[in-house]
Structure formats: structure tokens, C-alpha cells
Amino acid sequence: MTADVKFSTGLITFGNQTDRFCGSGYKEDREIKEMFKAASKVKELSGLELVGAQVKKSDDVKLIKKLKDDYGFEIVGITAELFSDPAWGRGSFSSGDPAIRKKAVDEVKKCMDIVKELNGDIVNIWPGQDGYDYIFQSDYIRSWEYIIEGIRECAKYRQDVKLSIEYKPKEPRTHSFIGTIGKTISLLDRINKKNTGVTIDVGHALYAYENIAESVSLCKLHGKELFLLHLNDNYRYWDDDMMVGSVHILEYIELIYWLMKTEYNGWYSLDIFPYRENGIRSAEESIEWLKSMIDAVEKMDKSEVEEIIDNGDATMSTRMLRKIFFKK
Amino acid sequence: MTADVKFSTGLITFGNQTDRFCGSGYKEDREIKEMFKAASKVKELSGLELVGAQVKKSDDVKLIKKLKDDYGFEIVGITAELFSDPAWGRGSFSSGDPAIRKKAVDEVKKCMDIVKELNGDIVNIWPGQDGYDYIFQSDYIRSWEYIIEGIRECAKYRQDVKLSIEYKPKEPRTHSFIGTIGKTISLLDRINKKNTGVTIDVGHALYAYENIAESVSLCKLHGKELFLLHLNDNYRYWDDDMMVGSVHILEYIELIYWLMKTEYNGWYSLDIFPYRENGIRSAEESIEWLKSMIDAVEKMDKSEVEEIIDNGDATMSTRMLRKIFFKK
Amino acid sequence: MTADVKFSTGLITFGNQTDRFCGSGYKEDREIKEMFKAASKVKELSGLELVGAQVKKSDDVKLIKKLKDDYGFEIVGITAELFSDPAWGRGSFSSGDPAIRKKAVDEVKKCMDIVKELNGDIVNIWPGQDGYDYIFQSDYIRSWEYIIEGIRECAKYRQDVKLSIEYKPKEPRTHSFIGTIGKTISLLDRINKKNTGVTIDVGHALYAYENIAESVSLCKLHGKELFLLHLNDNYRYWDDDMMVGSVHILEYIELIYWLMKTEYNGWYSLDIFPYRENGIRSAEESIEWLKSMIDAVEKMDKSEVEEIIDNGDATMSTRMLRKIFFKK
Amino acid sequence: MTADVKFSTGLITFGNQTDRFCGSGYKEDREIKEMFKAASKVKELSGLELVGAQVKKSDDVKLIKKLKDDYGFEIVGITAELFSDPAWGRGSFSSGDPAIRKKAVDEVKKCMDIVKELNGDIVNIWPGQDGYDYIFQSDYIRSWEYIIEGIRECAKYRQDVKLSIEYKPKEPRTHSFIGTIGKTISLLDRINKKNTGVTIDVGHALYAYENIAESVSLCKLHGKELFLLHLNDNYRYWDDDMMVGSVHILEYIELIYWLMKTEYNGWYSLDIFPYRENGIRSAEESIEWLKSMIDAVEKMDKSEVEEIIDNGDATMSTRMLRKIFFKK
């Protein structure tokens, strides 16, 4: 496999995931240092993603800095904390309250500073609370204007950090503003800052009924940079955050092909919620699937693939995929 | 409106709902007695549903008994605690571990005793953890056999309590065993005990792509009693647990018509999660919608409705519904 | 109701709709002049939409011109024929074959000329065959480049005709390129011609999991004109093309509110498939629902509505909607 | 691969498939004898399924008898014609019109006689028009009673033919009565005739959000025989009728495992709609995928698989699946 593919995951993979029925989570809670230790046991894992709540205090940052150095991890990025504080309940960037909007901008700026301190360069923006649940609950135009304005202000703050927008159709709101690849691209057109780009979360794209390879292609076509990939799987109706290799392996093969074709050179970063599973083994298994699939794509005869795509004959495409798994 | 329609809701309506991103919930936590006090402010609310976690200790039961009497509430039923303890993480009734299965049966039996003590007669069985997430993770036949066996054992325990099975397609597992009205009816055929029946949760039925009026009819057709209704709304893809009157009001009208036609005489019980809303107002608003819709159905000319149904002409059905809302 | 709301429908409403299992359709076939006659019986209908196949020959155009004048109809627009000829089977604008792409451009240009001849000014572009079904079947970037190029060439052809892009998530392909409001807006950003805009088909938006009022708002926000509305309803999973008033009446109320707020002044145009219903009555019933809902929105106290939206309290929104239907 | 797996497909695979937008279909029409000739070119294909419309006249039956003998095909079964005649538009077995219900029973009886004449023994019952589209359009209880009664009458007609019920959630109606595995099982409980059983169409099960292996298991658990399998694939939202091997290959592996475990010994029968593809190659490619997957399942260490299932650890299941495709 190509030497330069790098695997990362959210540090939280090694924590304890809760849901609305089991608030305690299905496993034991774990401290930051235990999570780092667990991460260190995953073969081929060289990067970690953080969330804003993990770097609230300067002591946290100091500890993480030490741990990442001790274990030899790179910090890929930080997802700004715009979703777990009840203060965001009715929106962060899109809030009708100017104090909340300011708080959102400040949170992102703070993460921008911290990520540089940790030698990373991505702040992931997933404004999960920015949306609506009910009919007649939202002033759509004003909300979107606030989002554009807020992210643009963050982007101006420092050019050396990439702001990567992660779209998701719903949850925790029944409707997210930034819900699809198309809405993300038109948002970036309005923001119009070079250090803004896209995070594609495979699961989010799947349950937005997107073909992920097309979504990757659209970034390229529209001149928006794909900064980050969040890898997981689901059954197309909800963000199940399952391991890679659970359901959609053919779509993963095509995704990897297009990532190579469009020269994506960022991290292959897991975003999984192993509620009832061991975090280490879940990450390992996901990476094993990815390695095998990347390897398979690298071995494909590119000119043959392009010919099949050009031809558009589905029996040839399906045959080609079959040959990857079953040699004869 | 007919005098004998009675409204109830889960006591938890007046608590604090959490989700997987906001573990603290969007509101303040509330104690049992505060929830009762809040409930007492909702006009026309005369019943309350409990969950097993609220009656863990005999002191809890004593307190609830006092509060319900003080405020003049009836206890509709208790949903047995088969979903929030991490011990159920890989199933309760369907668990491969006999100790867990026994624990599930014991929990239900305990709730049967308690509900009688509180003058209620329904134990609601929603085995939310009984399902699977991944391919090749479950022995389907054995799991279903355990479910049949376990519920039958509970049903035998005492005949004076109704065991009401609440189906749901998914969540917290990606696939629930008892997921649809059809699976529920065939399960009850195998259990074959008179004190077992069905809870239809409107939201669960909607995102199983069921027409709720048909689901009610199927209970009647197959001789399974509809013991309980859980009322809420959603956008058909997930159990959003929104207020009644949020989205599917035409389907609610038809549902109410068929409830009357099939002579349902149980509670109209809310099961809503007002994450970001005031619980009292959410319950009140849901009940106001229900009252208006029940009133509208009662005013329908039944022979005209039956003629339109017999005729099967959709333009007539749609016109009839329009006339309910817009007089001219 | 405001005098200037004008209702139209596709002429095909009065024809015979087929599906893949019943190729003959469920009703009788009808000739153009019979369809006009039927249309003339629908109260309040003043406009008609055509499809390219109805204006293939100059005699067809002559006949339609006479009929529209005789019956006093306006021609709203023509949907270019890019979907029913098997030649489009693997795409029209996005085809890998330059001859097919040229044919697509020519078809649209021809419709632009004809629509002006009929005193209309919209050519609706729904490139239903431009998409893909299977994995590894499409060169996404090249296909989108062809679409941009082709529509831009059409837009340049004459500035006095509006090219209105109608997005749809799928069908007849499992994935359409122009599938969502977001993809449509970013497409229009690349085409960058003033006479290009958007057709929102309510059903398409619903089964793309869009809130239609938000989709209307996004056109305004991004400076893309909403040229045309296609009105119908469905159950959110497929383009059922049901009558208006079938399922989502609350969302329709909100849609109408936002159409007024964003000053939409185009047609309220039906796009329904009354497979088993009488076309005249289906159109009439849809228009009756629309009239009642438009009337209701006009009677809303706008400052109260804006206050409720600003407040974002769902119990208030839901109450407000209830008051529209149930006075007390 | 086990010698006794037999592959079949619908004869219509080799015809011309239409949809509602392209009524001519995307390919050339073909006569019965041409379809047989095409079928004869598909390696490993030994059975064919017919639809009622193909055996309308006694000459048709005579011709098919000759062709099947000439080419050496077995006739697997006939799907009774209950969906393509506009007479069925508002239902066949469930129609409110006794003449239509009689016509449905007669059609099935006729197919029972013909299938025996052709040495087959399955009549497949897919009552596609038996359902409803709109709210308040159907008397659910009466309709279901008619369905039970009608199929029971057919079952009594002759015991030597299997009546196999094929469920499907929707299309051509927005809601089918016989829509899920659960509804099918409870229907069979009411019919209570030994020669009635189930056809599982993989695509139908997928877009009913069923795990197909569980659906197979439920037949076994409830004592309903799985008479027939219809194999195809889709994206979980619609009956796309794609080739096997298009999307859900992991679920197919599990399905095959459970078919073996529950000792299914019927046909592996394709039901695909290669609208834009060559029918011969589409069937061949589907069979190649099936052969490879069946072979893979046969090579699995059964005791290891059972241990993994018993254990219920998803990381082990996912690893096991990976090892099938990627040896190391």
C-alpha cells in the first residue's frame, strides 16, 4: 500500500459512548490519558482528532501535548465544541442571540489557536445544533446569513488554520442547515475564503442519499478543498457510526478510487461510535478493512477502470468489482 | 368531545431529555415530585405513565403512590426497565446469557406487582436493546425463541396485569427484533396468552412506513388487543418524538376514526421528548391538537365517511379531509 | 385571496398515466384537444404546462396555439423532452456522446423558440436521465462539466426565455446529478447566466428530506431566482405525485408563507399523476386546498408570525398552526 | 460449490423494461421465443419464471412447453397476473367488487393448472395493486378479510401446487397490504393451509428495512415454508431491481449462510430489471456473484461462525467477513 496514507481516529473512539436511553454508556468512562494509551495499541494509527470539550482548560492542552509526544501521535484537528453545551440548544453560529453567536466564533478561534499549538492545522466545524425541528420555527434566511458571517469571521482570524465544514442532514436537530454536499459548496461560495473547505463524513453522505465518490468529485469540480474525511458506515437512514467494512464496501472501493483520482492527500480518519464494542478492536478492524480496500484499488488497472467508467456499462462495472473480491 | 376519552403522558415529559451529543440535557434535571407538580398544571391530563427506573426502590413507589393521590392522577402503566441499564446492552429477553434473561423476566414481574399496587393494570414491554447492529451478530431464531419464552413466562405470572408489547423498528439498536406491527402480531400468536397485547407508538409506526389506522385495524383483524397508544409525531425517518400536531395531522384524523370504529377504549397517552421545549406546554399543546381532532372526527357523518371509504375515490377522501379544516 | 395568484397544471394531468407494471395506464388515452377540453372544466385554472413530446411537430404547436386561445389558457412553459426518448437512456446533457449532448442542447433551444411562440417564457429543464444507477458507472466530474457547459450554451441562445432547473433526487436513475437544492444552487453559480433559475417541485424536495420553505429561502439567499413551483405531495420516500392536500399540509402552510415573504410571483403549478383518479377532480381538489391554504396564510397576523419565528419556541409555532384549523 | 444449487430467472429479464417516463423501454421489444433463446445463452441458468400475461392463451402455453423442452429449461413457477391489467387498478383479491375478486381467484387457479402442465409447482402471488395510496381510501379490515378468503380458496383448489406469497412494502400503490415479512406470516397464520408459503424478494425486504437473514429465520421460526427467493439489489429506498452484487454483498453472504442453515432447497431465482443493460450479461453477472458468494459461504468454518454469532461481538463478525474477501 502507498506509504503516504495515514490513519487517524477521534480520541473518543476509546471512550464510552452514550445514547438517549443509556445515559451512562455501555462501557466504563475513561480519562484522556487512558484513551491515549488505548490509542497507542492500534496498529497503523498515527493521528488523533480531538473535540473542543477535551481542550477546555490550558491544563488539558498541556496534558494532551505531552501525551501525543510521548506516544508519538500527530493531532489531526479539533472539532470545535458547538454541540454538547446546552447553551447551543437553539443554535450556535445561527442563534438569534448575538452573545451566543459571539461565543461560537470565540470557541472556533480558540480551537484554531490550540490546534496550532498541538501542531495540527484543521479546525473541524460541525454546527450540529444549527438547524430546526419544527415547522415555522426558523428564519431560514437570517440563520444562514449568520452562519456565513460567523464562519467568515473565523476564517479571517488566522489563515494558517484550515476551517473544515462537516455537513450532516440531521441529528441532534431534525433538520440541519448545513445538511448536504450541495449546501456546503454554496455556503463556501458565499464565505469565499481560501482556508475554508469540506469534511466529508461517509455516514452523513450515505444517509443524505449521496454517492460519496460523487460528493468528493463535486468538491474538486467547484474548487472547494476536501480537507478531511470521516470514515464509518451505516444503513443509510441514520448516523449509526459503525465500523468501516460493515455494510457499504463497494461504495468504499469507489470512494477510494476517486480520492486517489482527485489527489486527496489528507488523513483517513475514523469517526465511529463503538457503543457496545471494544474501541481498540473497532479501530483496528476499520483500519484493516481500509488497508485492504486501498491496496485493492491501487492494484486496479487504471486505464481499464477509466474505460469501464467511460463506457458506463453496469455489467462491466459490477464484474470489475467482483474480480477484486473473487479472483476467478 | 366524548366524555370518556382520557389523556395521559409519561411522567418523563416533565423531566430533562438528553441525547448522545448533549449528555446533560438541554434543561434542568427534575425530581419526581417536581415532575408531578408540573404534570398537575396540564389541563385535561388525568393519567401518568412511569418507567421502571422510577420505581426501583420501595420508597419510590411509596412516594409516587402519595403524589398520584395528592394530585389526583391515575397511573396508566409502567414501562419495564429493559433499556437503560448497560447490563441490557446486548439484549434483555433475547440475551444469550440465562442470568440476563432471568433478570428481564424478574424486572417485568416486579413491575406487574408494582403497577397493581398503584392501581394501574398495564406493564408496557419495549425491549429496546433486543436487536442487533451488525451483520452476523445474531442468532435470529434462538433470540426470537427466547423472547417468546420470556414474555410467556411473565404473562403467566399474573393474569390481572396486561403485558403490552411496544414495537419499534430501530434505536438504540440499528435493528430491533420486535420492529413492526406484523412481527408483533405473529409474536403474540406464538405467545398465545390473553393478557398480552399491543402498544402502538404512532412515531414508531410512521417510521416503519406503516399507515397507523391500518396497524390498529390489523390488531382487530388478528384478535390482538390494542392495550395502549403512544402519541407523538416525526418526519418518518427517525423516532423524533415531537408533539402531536407537528406533521401528520391528516393521518391522525384517520387514526382517531379507526380507533373509534374498532372501539379502542384505552388511554390517549403522549410519548414525547420535548428536548428544548417546556414540558408542560408541550403536553398541553399536544392535548389541544388531540381534542380538536377527536372533536372533528366525532362530528364527521359516519355513513358519509363509510361511503367514501367504500368508494375508494381519493378525490373524495381528500375533499372530505379539506372540509374538516376549511369549512367552505 | 390575493387576486394575483394564478394556478396552472401540466396538460398531462388530463391524460393517462402509466407505471412500469401497468404499461397501458389505468385510464383511457386522450388526445391533446380532449385534454384541453378537460382542463377547461377546472375552475380557477388559467395556465397549462407542456412537455416537449407534445410540441414535436409544427402542426402540434399550431393546434396548441389555437386551443389555448380558444379556451383562454396561458402557456406557462415547456419541459424540454430529455427523458422519454430511449436515446437519452444514459444521459442527455451529461452523455459521453457528443451527438447526444448536441441533441439535448438543440431540444432545449427548440423549446425556447416554441414557448415564445406560445407566449410563454419558461423552459423547464428536468434532465431525468442524467445520473447513474451503479457504482463505478459514471465519471462524475466530466458529467457535471458537460451539464454546466450544455445549459450555459442554451442560456446564451436567447435571453428572453427563462431556463428553470428542476432538481430531483432520483428516478428514473437511482441517482440524479441535479438532485438537491444545494447542488442546483452551486450549478447555477457555475453557469452564471441571469436567465437561469430554479423550479422547486415540492415532492422532489420532500423526498430529498428538504424543508421546502428553507429551499425557497436558499434561492433568495444565494440570489437564484425561483422561476417555477411544481406542486404535489408524497410520503417522503418517493415521487408519488399525489394531489396537494394529501399529507403535508402544515409544511404547505409554511411554504406559502415563505413564498409570500420572498415575493414569489410565478405560477402555482400542479405536477400530479392521478393514475387511478379523475384528472379534472384531482386538479380541482388540489386547487381548492391551495386556495384555502393561501387564504389562511393571508389572514395570519404577519407580525405575530415573525415574533413566533424569532422566538423559535416550537410550542408557539404548533399552537399557531392549530389555530388556523381549529378556531378555539 | 454444492451441486444442488439451481439458478433461475424471470423470462422477462431478456425482454424490454419500461418505466413511467420511458414507456417504450430503453431496448427493443422481444418475443417469447427470442427471450428463451437469450436465456439459453446464460451459463448455469436452468430454470425460468413466467408471469401470467405470458400464458394467457393456450397457444402461449403450448409454445412455452415446446421452448422449455427444446432448450432444456425447467419452469420454476408463474407469477399470477394481478397487476398489469387496469382492471386490477383498485385491487385484485381485496377489491370491493365481488366480480374482480372472483376474477383474481380464477386467474390464480388458472395459473395453478398451467404451472403443473409445465411441470412446475409454484404459483407466486404478488398482489401489487392490493393496497392504497391516500388517507381514508381503504377499509383495512374488510380488505384483509377478502385477501385471506381469496387466497384460502385458491389454496384449496389443488394441494399439489404451492402458493407463494411475495410481500413488498409499496409500488405500484404507495402502501401494499402485504408489505412485510411480519404481515405475511400473520396472513399465513390466518389462511392456515399447508400449500401456502413465502417468497422473499431480497430487494423488497431491503427497502422494508429488514435484515434478509432474519426474515428467512422468521419463516422457519413460525413454521411457514420459504418456497421461493427473488434475488436482486437496491439502495434500500425503492425496488431498484439491480443486479446481485451491486450494493449489499455482506448482507448477501449472511443471507446465504442462513438459507443453508435453515435448509432452503428451492431455486436461487433472479428478479432483476436491466432497463439499460443487456439481459444476458446482467443475469450472468448476477449468477457469477451468487456462485462466488455461495462458494465462500460453503468454505466458512461453520463451528467458528456459530461461535462468533453466539458471542455477538461485532468486531469478530466484521473481521470474519473481511477474511472472506481479503485473505490476509
Q: What is the DSSP letter of C242?
A: B
Q: Which residues of B touch A20 (CB under 8 A)?
A: 17-20, 172, 273
Q: What's chain A's average pLDDT?
A: 97
Residue A317 resides in a domain: no
Of C140, C180, C254, the CB nearest to A135: C254
Chain B residues 143-162 with CB within 8 Å of chain D: 144-145
Of A281, A295, A321, the CB nearest to D315: A281
Q: Which of C227, C155, C141, C140 is nearest to C191 (CA)?
A: C155
Q: D183 vs B139: CB contact, 8 Å cut-off?
A: no
Determine the Cα–Cα distance for residues D59 and D77; give it in Å rounded to an integer. Answer: 18
pLDDT tens column, C118-160: 999 999 999 999 999 999 999 999 999 999 999 999 999 999 9
- How crowded is the C-beta side of C249, counted as CA atoms within 13 Å? 31
The three-class DSSP label of residue B94 is coil
Buried b (16+ CB within 10 A) or exposed e, B125-152: bbbbbbbbbbbbbbbbbebbebbbebbb
Residue B42 resides in a domain: yes
Handedness of CA B252, B257, B262, B266 (dihedral sign): positive
Host H or E run for residue B199: strand B196-201
How close, in Å, is residue B208 to chain C by CA atoms? 12
Determine the Cα–Cα distance for residues D290 and B47; give it in Å rounded to an integer. Answer: 56
Nearest CA in chain C to D51: C21
Residue B2 has pLDDT above 80, yes or no: no
Determine the Cα–Cα distance for residues C307 and C324; give it in Å rounded to an integer. Answer: 17
Q: Which of A24, A12, A32 is nearest to A283 (CA)?
A: A12
Q: B170 vs A27: CB contact, 8 Å cut-off?
A: no
Q: Which residues of B touch D190 (CB under 8 A)?
A: 221-222
Strand partners, C51: C79
Q: Which residues of C touch D237 (CB under 8 A)?
A: 170, 237-238
Q: Which residues of A touch C132 (CB under 8 A)?
A: 211, 312
How close, in Å, is residue D185 to chain B by CA atoms? 7
Q: What is the DSSP letter of D87?
A: G
The per-residue pLDDT for C122 is 98
Q: D276 vs C242: CB contact, 8 Å cut-off?
A: no
Q: Which residues of A touch C250 (CB under 8 A)?
A: 135
Total domain count, chain B: 1
The per-residue pLDDT for C328 is 61
Nearest CA in chain C to D235: C174
What is the C-alpha radius of gyration for chain D, rounded to an integer number of angstroms?
Answer: 20
- Strand ranges (E), C21-146: 45-51, 74-79, 122-125, 131-132
Does the complex come out with an ipTM higher than 0.95?
yes
Convert chain A into a string of H (helix), E (strand) and C (coil).
CCCCCCEEEEHHHHCCCCCCCCCCCCCCCCCHHHHHHHHCCCCCEEEEEEEHHHHCCHHHHHHHHHHHHHHCCEEEEEECCCCCCHHHCCCCCCCCCHHHHHHHHHHHHHHHHHHHHCCCCEEEECCCCCEECCCCCCCHHHHHHHHHHHHHHHHHHCCCCEEEEECCCCCCCCEECCCCHHHHHHHHHHHCCCCEEEEEEHHHHHHCCCCHHHHHHHHHHCCCCEEEEEECECCCCCCCCECCCCCCHHHHHHHHHHHHHCCCCCCEEECCCCCCCCHHHHHHHHHHHHHHHHHHHHHCCHHHHHHHHHHCCHHHHHHHHHHHHCCC
Of B24, B85, B237, the CB nearest to A86: B24
The domain in which residue B285 lies consists of 7-297
The three-class DSSP label of residue D89 is coil
Give the three cell numbers for residue D24: 417504450
The per-residue pLDDT for D327 is 78
Q: B285 vs C247: CB contact, 8 Å cut-off?
A: no
Q: Which residues of C touch D15 (CB under 8 A)?
A: none
Average pLDDT over residues B22-30: 96
C82 touches chain A (CB under 8 A): no
A89 touches chain B (CB under 8 A): yes
The per-residue pLDDT for C327 is 78
Residue C318 resides in a domain: no
What is the C-alpha radius of gyration for chain C, rounded to an integer number of angstroms?
Answer: 20
How close, in Å, is residue C238 to chain D by CA atoms? 8
pLDDT tens column, C45-75: 999 999 999 999 999 999 999 999 999 999 9
Do the beta carbons of residue B157 and residue B119 sit within 8 Å? no
> Confidence band (pLDDT; 50, 70, 90) for D2?
low
The per-residue pLDDT for C44 is 97
C304 touches chain A (CB under 8 A): no
Q: Which residues of D touch C275 (CB under 8 A)?
A: 89, 172
C133 touches chain A (CB under 8 A): yes
Chains in contact with D, counting 3 or more C-beta pairs less than 8 Å apart as contact? A, B, C
C308 touches chain B (CB under 8 A): no
How close, in Å, is residue C174 to chain D by CA atoms? 7
> Confidence band (pLDDT; 50, 70, 90) for D122?
very high
Q: Which residues of D touch C248 (CB under 8 A)?
A: none
Residue C100 has pLDDT above 90, yes or no: yes
Distance in Å from the first CA to the final CA of chain C: 23
Residue A2 has pLDDT above 90, yes or no: no
Residue A154 has pLDDT above 70, yes or no: yes
The three-class DSSP label of residue B229 is strand
Residue C326 resides in a domain: no
pLDDT tens column, C206-261: 999 999 999 999 999 999 999 999 999 999 999 999 999 999 999 999 999 999 99
Nearest CA in chain B to A19: B20
Average pLDDT over residues B159-178: 98
pLDDT tens column, A7-32: 999 999 999 999 999 999 999 999 99
Residue B3 has pLDDT above 90, yes or no: no
Residue C45 resides in a domain: yes
> Confidence band (pLDDT; 50, 70, 90) for C1?
low
Chains in contact with C, counting 3 or more C-beta pairs less than 8 Å apart as contact? A, B, D
Give the three cell numbers for residue A50: 480531538
Residues 6 or more apart in contact with residue D197 via CB below 8 angstroms: D162, D163, D164, D165, D188, D219, D224, D225, D226, D227
pTM of the model: 0.98
Average pLDDT over residues A133-155: 98
Q: What is the CATH number of the domain that holds C71?
A: 3.20.20.150
Average pLDDT over residues C95-114: 98
Q: Which residues of D touch B144 (CB under 8 A)?
A: 217-218, 221
Residues 6 or more apart in contact with residue B7 via CB below 8 angstroms: B44, B45, B46, B47, B267, B268, B269, B270, B287, B290
Nearest CA in chain D to B178: D182
Residue A270 resides in a domain: yes
C22 touches chain A (CB under 8 A): no
Determine the Cα–Cα distance for residues A90 and A88; give it in Å rounded to an integer. Answer: 6
Q: Kindly state the percentage of chain B with pLDDT values over 90.
A: 98
Do the beta carbons of residue C75 and residue C55 sit within 8 Å? no
The per-residue pLDDT for C133 is 98
User: Which residue intervals of D222-313 are DSSP H helices?
Assistant: 249-261, 279-299, 302-311
Host H or E run for residue D227: strand D226-231
> Confidence band (pLDDT; 50, 70, 90) for C186?
very high
Do the beta carbons of residue A80 and residue A124 sit within 8 Å? yes
Please return the burial class of D301, using the count of CB atoms within 10 Å of its CB with bins 0-12, 13-18 and 19+. exposed
Strand partners, B8: B47, B269
D220 touches chain B (CB under 8 A): yes
Determine the Cα–Cα distance for residues C299 and B198; give it in Å rounded to an integer. Answer: 43
Crossing angle (nearest 10°) for helices B302-311 and B314-325: 150
D318 touches chain A (CB under 8 A): yes
pLDDT tens column, B231-283: 999 999 999 999 999 999 999 999 999 999 999 999 999 999 999 999 999 99
The per-residue pLDDT for C63 is 98
How close, in Å, is residue B195 to chain D by CA atoms? 19
Determine the Cα–Cα distance for residues C11 and C51; give it in Å rounded to an integer. Answer: 8
Give the three cell numbers for residue D39: 436465456
What is the residue whose three cell numbers read 473481511? D322
Give the three cell numbers for residue C38: 378537460
Determine the Cα–Cα distance for residues A276 and D290; give it in Å rounded to an integer. Answer: 32
> Confidence band (pLDDT; 50, 70, 90) for D187?
very high
The per-residue pLDDT for A327 is 78
Q: Which of A224, A235, A154, A156 is nearest to A184 (CA)?
A: A224
Residue A148 resides in a domain: yes
Q: What's chain C's average pLDDT?
A: 97
Average pLDDT over residues C284-299: 97
Q: Which of B200, B186, B202 is nearest to B248 (CA)?
A: B202
Please return the burial class of D6, using the count of CB atoms within 10 Å of its CB with bins 0-12, 13-18 and 19+. middle
Chain C residues 179-208 with CB within 8 Å of chain A: 179-186, 189-190, 208
Determine the Cα–Cα distance for residues D254 and D238; give it in Å rounded to an integer. Answer: 21
| Phi and psi torsions of A15, nearest 5° | -100, -150
How close, in Å, is residue D312 to chain C by CA atoms? 31
Determine the Cα–Cα distance for residues C256 and D141; give it in Å rounded to an integer. Answer: 37
Of B277, B314, B322, the CB nearest to C314: B277
D237 touches chain B (CB under 8 A): no
Chains in contact with A, counting 3 or more C-beta pairs less than 8 Å apart as contact? B, C, D
Average pLDDT over residues C162-179: 98
The three-class DSSP label of residue D165 is strand
A240 touches chain B (CB under 8 A): yes
Q: C22 vs D171: CB contact, 8 Å cut-off?
A: no
A249 touches chain D (CB under 8 A): yes
Determine the Cα–Cα distance for residues D152 and D158; give it in Å rounded to an integer. Answer: 11
pLDDT tens column, A293-318: 999 999 999 999 999 999 999 999 99
Chains in contact with B, counting 3 or more C-beta pairs less than 8 Å apart as contact? A, C, D
Q: What's chain D's average pLDDT?
A: 97
Average pLDDT over residues A185-205: 98
pLDDT tens column, A45-70: 999 999 999 999 999 999 999 999 99
The per-residue pLDDT for D4 is 84
Q: Which residues of C touch D21 (CB under 8 A)?
A: 83-84, 128, 172
Determine the Cα–Cα distance for residues C264 and B48; give it in Å rounded to an integer. Answer: 47
Handedness of CA C16, C20, C26, C29 (dihedral sign): positive
Of C141, C214, C308, the CB nearest to A221: C141
Residue C86 resides in a domain: yes
Of D242, D250, D285, the CB nearest to A247: D250
Q: What's chain B's average pLDDT?
A: 97
